[in-house]
Amino acid sequence: MSAPDDGAAKRRLPIGIQTFREVRGEGYYYVDKTAHVQRMTDGGKHYFLSRPRRFGKSLLLDTIKELFEGSEELFRGLAIHDRWDWGRPHPVLRLDFGGGDFEQPSWLSEDLTLQLEAIERSAGIAVGSGSAPARFRRLIAELRERSGRRVAVLVDEYDKPILDALGTPEVARANRSFLRGLYSVIKSCDAHIEFTLLTGVSKFAKVSIFSGLNNLTDITLDPAYSAICGYTERDLDEVFAPELPGLDRDEVRRWYNGYSWRGAEKVYNPFDILLLFRQREFKAHWFETGSPKFLIDTLLRRGVPTPNLEGMVGSEALLSAFDIDEMSVEALLFQTGYLTITGEDAQNGLAQYRLGYPNREVRQSLNERLLWALLPHAARRRADDAPLRELLAANDFEGLEAFFRSLFAGVPHQWHVNNNIQNYEGYYASVVYSCFAARGFDLVPEDSSSAGRADMVVRSESGVYVFEFKSVERASGRALTQIKDRGYADKYRHRGQPVYLIGVEFSREDRNIATFEVARAA
């Protein structure tokens, strides 16, 4: 990858920088989000926002902190500067649960106590005692009384004490109860509060954690705020123009664009873009900074075939159904950023959101991890070495069959028992799909046509490959016959490429491929 034009006016890349004052004062690139903040302050008072990790939530909160504290010099040239009353600063009370190991039963109480003590000392208020909600309430009231102005309350990573403890549900429930009492104070102190914003990765059901704070405006799926975090195409063109020379913009879009919270414009993950600009390499920058073990364990435990991940549909209520004891797969995937909204329909007046992978990074990386979880170690090594691109480029179907036979031969009987994919067909189809997805192929699972749905379509430079999978007692040839009889390949004839029909039958008795039949569409 070639380097950018050194003659352009470049600035510092704000990788990992979450302090607005540092970004604005020390020569970093900054994408102006203050028009969104202005919209919030003009239109309401108490807000909630959910976004995946590393999307800029902490920088957004710090921006709002500096705004309410009246740091006018930091906002010169930004959208909000000429629309803000700089002569009326407000005290800010900011809590941050981003640090610590909240799986430990006592950590939440101890961490919050230290945060409240630090705020009290900074404000010159005598260190208090009593329960956390009581101290929180007292602190809000005293800040209001001392300044004569209402308080801005900001909470970062509001949900981390619960998420950290999901593996120990009794601690997670205790942390949830603790936070419910703490956040209820915000409503009871409404007369002393000017503005509230709580942010986090997940969106817990209101009845579980916000039952005492039922006046929050949730802007997570509000199209007006879809780009409040993340970078748009315009941001790349206008803010990061000096970094773009030498990068293939179509590849940038394929790898990192695609996140949508119902806005007209999709956004990029900021962390991905900044790491791309620094390293000049297309790789899984964001994915590699997190561990999706809980997600993968949940998908396997619930028997979700990997091809099904791209065809999920959910209402807003379902995408919000996230709690310790009731967690929908759709909500888990959407809120953590592994799936995004790709479209929406209305059914009986209720919006239904179609979900899919946002980009190549997520599809490829998540399926690689899923493939590792689906296969024992020896078979996993074989999958990692798969020459799938070479086999398809040469249309070497015998080699393709031999590879998958060899792969499945390395899966012992007990592996099927221990991995709860819904059925043998679901397991085998998941392995085949994830093998291709982990190598970055252009895939369409459950590809719809007027006559039905093909299980999987692979599109590449060498042709289009239409797959149908069957789980059988004995070889029958029904998989290939179904592709032909239902005309699954017809929609691809206009592409001017060869189209191949591949029927794969898996033997329930032998636990391997029973038939692997290929025909070229006429």
Domains of the chain: 32-225 (3.40.50), 367-520 (3.40.1350)
Q: Which two tokens stand for residue 257?
A: 């664009």
CB-based contact 499:452 (threshold 8 Å): no
In 190-222, which positions are buried (b, 16+ CB within 10 angstroms) versus exposed (e)?
A: eebbbbbbbbbbbbbeeebbbebbeebebbbbb
Tell me the one-letter amino acid at 35: A
Name which of 216, 146, 230 is nearest 184 in CA terms: 216
Q: Which two tokens stand for residue 378?
A: 């020896």
CA pair distance 158, 372, nearest whole angstrom: 32
CB-based contact 161:104 (threshold 8 Å): no
Instruction: Give the pLDDT confidence score for residue 469 in this predicted structure.
Output: 95
CA pair distance 83, 41, nearest whole angstrom: 11
Q: Which two tokens stand for residue 291?
A: 């561990």
Would the pTM of this model clear 0.95, i.e. be above it? no
Contacts of 339 by beta carbon, 8 Å cutoff, 6+ apart: 309, 312, 330, 333, 355, 356, 357, 358
CA pair distance 493, 425, nearest whole angstrom: 28
Instruction: Give the pLDDT confidence score for residue 418 in this predicted structure.
Output: 55
CA dihedral 51, 261, 304, 292 (to 10 degrees): -20
Instruction: Give the pLDDT confidence score for residue 8 in this predicted structure.
Output: 56
CA pair distance 163, 323, nearest whole angstrom: 9
Instruction: Give the pLDDT confidence score for residue 385 in this predicted structure.
Output: 81
- Using the Cα atoms of residue 324, residue 327, residue 331 and residue 337 in order, give the sign of their dihedral: positive
Q: DSSP class of residue 41?
A: H
CB-based contact 235:257 (threshold 8 Å): no
Instruction: Give the pLDDT confidence score for residue 327 in this predicted structure.
Output: 85
All residue ranges of the chain with pLDDT < 50 are 1-7
CA pair distance 511, 416, nearest whole angstrom: 9
Instruction: Give the pLDDT confidence score for residue 421 in this predicted structure.
Output: 61
